[in-house]
Amino acid sequence: MKIAGGCYCGAVRYEITSEAQASLQCHCRECQYISGGNPAALMIFPLEGFQLTSGEMKQFRRSDLERPVTRHFCENCGTGVASETPSRPGSIVIKVGTLDDPSIFAPAVAIFTCDKQDFHHIPEDITAFDKRPG
């Protein structure tokens, strides 16, 4: 399986050559900033199967949090492309909107519904977690 994607301006391009470990939507307050307000649509892949094919990503990590996620984004257009979280070392969390074909995404779970807004939609056939599963 080969999946390609990139940022809005096209400077950052990536390729993924491994199967997704998870597909989810995250309702957390932090994701609302990055997504524009809605839950973030996310697919998680093994980090080793991810590689940049052009451009470079800039990293941001909040210094006021104990276990901050590392956010990777395009310095040119600002698109949030991916993140790495200390709770899933060795994996990379891809923003579905950056996939060339976002239609491959089908969320299996919704997480951090503790921060869910009334205008967020959770499909009836998926499992919702107040925080994260397990």
> Closest separation between CB of residue 61 and Zn ion, Å?
15
> Closest separation between CB of residue 90 and Zn ion, Å?
19
> Closest separation between CB of residue 96 and Zn ion, Å?
13
Closer residue to Zn ion (CB): 1 or 9: 9
Q: Can you tell me which residue has the tokens 């839950």? A: 39
Three-state DSSP state, 71: strand
What six digits make up the tokens of 89?
């070392």
CB 109 within 8 A of CB 126: yes
Closer residue to Zn ion (CB): 20 or 110: 110
Closer residue to Zn ion (CB): 1 or 10: 10
CA dihedral (58, 62, 66, 69) in degrees, to 10, reads -40
Give the footprint of Zn ion on this chain (CB under 5 A). 7, 9, 11, 26, 28, 31, 74, 76-77
